[in-house]
Chains A and B, each alone.
Chain A
Amino acid sequence: MAERLAFVAPRYAGDGAVGGAETLLKNLAIHAARMGYEVDFLTTCAQNHYTWENTLPPGARETDGMTVRFFPVDPRDEGAFLRIQQQIDRGVAVPAADEALWLRNGVHSSELLAHLAANADGYRAILAGPYLFGLTVAAATAHLDKMLLVPCLHDEPFARLATIRAMFGAVAGCLFNSDAERALAGELYGFPDARARTVGMGLDPFDADPRAFAARRGLDAPYVLYCGRREPLKGTPLICDYMLTFRERTGRDVRVVFTGSGDIEAADALRPAILDAGFVSEDEKHEAMAGAVAFIHPSVNESFGIVLLESFLAGTPALVHAKSRVLVAQCRAAQAGLWFRHYPDFEAELLRLLDDPDARAALGANGRRFVAREYAWPAIERKLAGAIDALLPRRG
């Protein structure tokens, strides 16, 4: 009889919900099912991570070789949540009661937790993430002995809350996405290496025509690309600020392409140079990546960087923020990207990629080789199975 695994995530990736952590958990679950585990994916009916409105019908669906169970999000006091979140974000120490209130009113589902409690005995392991959601914390603290946290940890004020520290101190183990994230957990919580494994997520290889996207979208100039949520936390306003200045100072007609969701905060002067492609298919995203001069990833709060690895796989080098230790580590390991501290670095590096096609091609080739070797799914599946066996050995 197949062993059962439960995955817990606040949203189910796809169908209008996009997020790196959600995508990662979904893909790990799909591959766990392919490896022979019987997988229950427990999630909420919400798609929007700001409103957490229940927009999907509750109930179970068989999809991707597993059972996905949707549960409604509990009513929330959004005012209390935002008030405390702003305090935490500003680095203000909040009392334990406020931490609990913040977690309770983020995203929470009593029905999901009740289902988990009723079925926990049947699961070999429960994998939940990302770390900072009330749902994850509640599931983890209720089932510490079976909990393998997939934290997607960032160096941010939320990570320093006492509740979060206590959760890391008590769970059976953590599956980190990168060694840099694992090191961060060591620094923040003294998280022991014996309870940690680095797994990450696999990427399926693809070939993409580097001219297809530009031809389809009528782009007649080189372009840089960002894919994902457009929001200040991801650093997208910085892309607009830098690219406006880059175009003005250098006189180069380099366009800016965005895929994904969210508003783009850009000055009017940059608007004509922006192509907002919105949600695109995976194939079109890969074509956009393959044709870009560079993939720009300015976020400093990343635990993995799926789109960065996809851009490497598309043969496109990346420009990342020097403050993002995870993305810099990936650029360094792949020898496929450069990092900038400020605008002067950015300008010099983008000019180098534009003017030195050999260097750009060499970086791109490095990235493609690196991801194909290090992030092939068979390797990740072995790491996942190994991590479960090592962190939760079979009894008897």
Chain B
Amino acid sequence: MSDNEQLLSIGAPGLDVDRLVAEIQATADRKMRDGVYSDARVARAEKTNLVHLRGTDGFLTFYLACLRDAVFVDISDFEIRERRSAFAPALVALKKVIWKLLKFYTYRLWSQQNQVNGLVITALQGIEEQTEGRIAKLEARVAELEARLGAAAVPGKARGDG
């Protein structure tokens, strides 16, 4: 009896968590490639998981795609509210005045920051693509050299056998 069969016999017939997880992960991987998770919220969610993901294949590509969605800070106007009920209208009015005074400066600041964020993420993606391309070429070259080495070794082995 294989290990897998032993595991299956423990639980409900037909249920195999290894298979279930493998199916789910394959679907998740495909969706990641399709951009389903290229979402700033996913980048934010992964911030405490980064240390566990660093060595994962394709992680950097995925994470940069998520970050691409996150780099641009929303600098448009927003509804100003006040949670404390006492003096709420007065506090809202005060906040609106403060916002109007600061808006000119913060708009300039954040629009420049957005430009920098965008340039940095583009540069990082470029570096990552270049590195991936170089690694792929090197792997292909290593495989080719190994194949040549293998082919060269066969006659020698035959001679030794003889």
Contact = CB atoms under 8 A, between A and B. Distances in A.
A48 interface: no
A248 B41 contact: yes
Interface of B: 7-8, 10-12, 15-18, 20-21, 24-25, 27-28, 31-32, 36-37, 39, 41-42, 44-49, 52-53, 56, 59
Given A244-B45, A365-B11, A335 B16 contact: yes
A338 B24 contact: yes
Contacts of A359: 15, 20
A245 B45 contact: yes
23 contacts: A232-B48, A237-B48, A241-B45, A242-B45, A244-B41, A249-B39, A249-B41, A332-B17, A333-B7, A333-B10, A335-B12, A335-B15, A335-B17, A338-B17, A339-B21, A341-B56, A342-B56, A344-B28, A347-B28, A349-B24, A362-B11, A362-B12, A370-B10
Interface string A352-372: 100000010011011001100
A348 interface: yes
Contacts of B46: 241, 342-343
A345 interface: yes
A270 to B, nearest CB: 11
Tell me the interface secondary structure of chain A in the complex: helix
Nearest to A300: B52
Interface string A281-304: 000000000000000000010000
Contacts of A366: 10-12, 15
B53 A341 contact: yes
Contact of A241 (B7, B8, B36, B47): B47
Contacts, number: 98
Contact of A235 (B32, B36, B48, B56): B48
A251 to B, nearest CB: 12
A334 B52 contact: no
A238 interface: yes
Most chain A CB inside 10 Å of its own CB: which residue of B18, B21, B45, B53: B45
A238 B48 contact: yes
Contact of A332 (B7, B42, B45, B49): B7
A370 B31 contact: no
Contact of B10 (A249, A334, A347): A334
B17 A344 contact: no
Interface string A206-249: 00000000000000000000000000100101100110110011
B17 A245 contact: no
Interface residues of A, number: 38
Contacts of B39: 249
B24 A345 contact: yes
Nearest to A246: B45
A345 B56 CA distance: 14
Interface in A128-160: none
B42 A245 contact: yes
Nearest to A232: B48
Given A331-B17, A336-B11, A362-B11, A344 B37 contact: yes
A348 to B, nearest CB: 5
A337 interface: yes
A369 B11 contact: yes
A311 to B, nearest CB: 15
Contact of A344 (B10, B18, B21, B42): B42
Contact of B11 (A334, A338, A341, A348): A334
For the complex of A and B, list the 3 residue pairs with the smallest distance between their C-beta atoms, beginning with the closest: A366-B11, A335-B11, A245-B45
A323 interface: yes
Contacts of A348: 24, 27-28
Contacts of A245: 41-42, 44-45
Contacts of B36: 344
Given A238-B49, A348-B24, A343 B12 contact: no
A26 interface: no
Given A245-B41, A370-B11, A342 B49 contact: yes
A325 interface: no
Of residues B21, B39, B44, B56, which shows the largest number of chain A Cβ atoms within 10 Å of its Cβ? Answer: B21
Contacts of A349: 21, 24
B31 A344 contact: yes
Contacts of B47: 241
- Tell which of B7, B11, B39, B41 has the most Cβ of chain A within 10 Å: B11
Nearest to B27: A348
Nearest to A249: B41
B34 to A, nearest CB: 11
Nearest to B63: A342
A317 to B, nearest CB: 9
Contacts of A339: 21
Nearest to B21: A338
